[in-house]
Amino acid sequence: MVEAVETMDGWYSLHDLRTIDWTKWKEAPVHIQEKAIKEFQTLLSSWESVEKNNEGSHCMYHMVGQKADLMFMILRPTMNELAAVETALNKSVLAEFLVPTYSHLSVVELAKYRPQKDGVDPETLPETQERLKPILPKCDHISFYPMSRKRDGDDNWYTLEKDERGKLLYEHSLTGRKYAGKIKQIITGSIGFDKWEWGVTLFTDDVLQLKKIVYEMRFDTATSRYGEFGEFFIGNYLAKEDVEQLLNV
């Protein structure tokens, strides 16, 4: 029987993508627009307070293309807190002008492929906890995409022995290390939570690095033979102070 790998799990994650109903928004009275913007900025301020207290994190991006206009990535310690954030957004005046287009539910995840060093559980290390409960970067650009591992005949990730999987992922990680300082990556696991098995979120200040890292990783066996990918969502950072400018008509 093939051995499963224990995961280390951190904060719960929601990628929430929405399109702005511009026709409805432009037809709304000015006082409704002003109320919606002010209330939304207050909501964002409450998220900032949570992040300041290291009780969660968030980021917001203005998406490029027709898949969505806005993407929120929210991290919280519990699934209940995550649901509360989503509900608060749904109850806002601005939400009356937003159309949900896609979401991905997951949890920040690291796998225990490597043995314990000197008898120390890696999950107890401060650097591990920092990765499991990260403060999301506020880089200029974001790329999010869901993915799964193939289960197709001989190309079945889940029939590979643990050591073989670990070797392939280590080789895959060597490609990623080339982009240290250029790209920040956060992996979230969604097996049992969503259709796709993982979510990959990449942050960078140089948007071309998103293309370069994904292209180069396509040649790693873990990807070329065993990877399946959903759509890619690309966006530019949207600060709280820039929301009013975006929504002005």
Tens-digit pLDDT profile for residues 183-198: 999 999 999 999 999 9
Residue 234 confidence (pLDDT): 98
Q: What residue has token string 């949900």?
A: 100
Q: For residue 118, is pLDDT > 80? A: no
Q: Is residue 232 part of a domain?
A: yes
- Into how many domains does the chain fold? 1
Count other C-beta atoms under 10 Å from residue 204's C-beta. Answer: 21
Contact 80, 29 (CB under 8 A): no
Token pair listed for 192: 């049992």
From the list 145, 179, 215, 237, the catalytic residue is 145
> Which residue, 1, 13, 2, is CA-closest to 193?
13
Query: How would DSSP label each residue in 126-162?
Result: HHHHHHHSPPPP--SEEEEEEEEE-EETTEEGGGS-H
User: What Å distances lie between residue 214 and 2, 103, 138, CA to CA?
Assistant: 29, 22, 20
Instruction: Determine the Cα–Cα distance for residues 2 and 18; give it in Å rounded to an integer.
Output: 40
Catalytic status, residue 170 = no
Span 136-145, average pLDDT: 98
Contact 91, 83 (CB under 8 A): no
DSSP-derived letter for residue 117 is: B
Q: Is residue 122 part of a domain?
A: yes
Residue 115 confidence (pLDDT): 65
Instruction: Determine the Cα–Cα distance for residues 34 and 79; give it in Å rounded to an integer.
Output: 32
Digit-coded pLDDT (tens) for 19-56: 999 999 999 999 999 999 999 999 999 999 999 999 99
Q: For residue 235, is pLDDT > 80? A: yes
**Residue 239 maps to which CATH number?**
3.30.70.1030
What's the pTM? 0.95
pLDDT tier, 119 (very low <50, low <70, confident <90, very high otherwise) = confident
Instruction: Determine the Cα–Cα distance for residues 174 and 169; give it in Å rounded to an integer.
Output: 9
Q: What residue has token string 């929405």?
A: 18
Q: What are phi and psi of 50, to 5 degrees?
A: -60, -45
Range of the domain at 91: 7-247
Span 111-131, average pLDDT: 83
Pairing of strands 70-76, 57-63: antiparallel
Q: Is residue 49 part of a domain?
A: yes
Q: Is residue 180 part of a domain?
A: yes
Query: Exposed (0-12), middle (13-18) or buried (19+): which is 189, by Cβ within 10 Å?
Result: buried
Q: Is residue 205 part of a domain?
A: yes
Q: Is residue 2 part of a domain?
A: no
Count other C-beta atoms under 10 Å from residue 60's C-beta. Answer: 22
Residues in the chain: 249
Span 2-12, average pLDDT: 94
Q: Is residue 102 part of a domain?
A: yes
Mean pLDDT across the chain? 96
Q: Is residue 159 part of a domain?
A: yes
DSSP-derived letter for residue 118 is: T
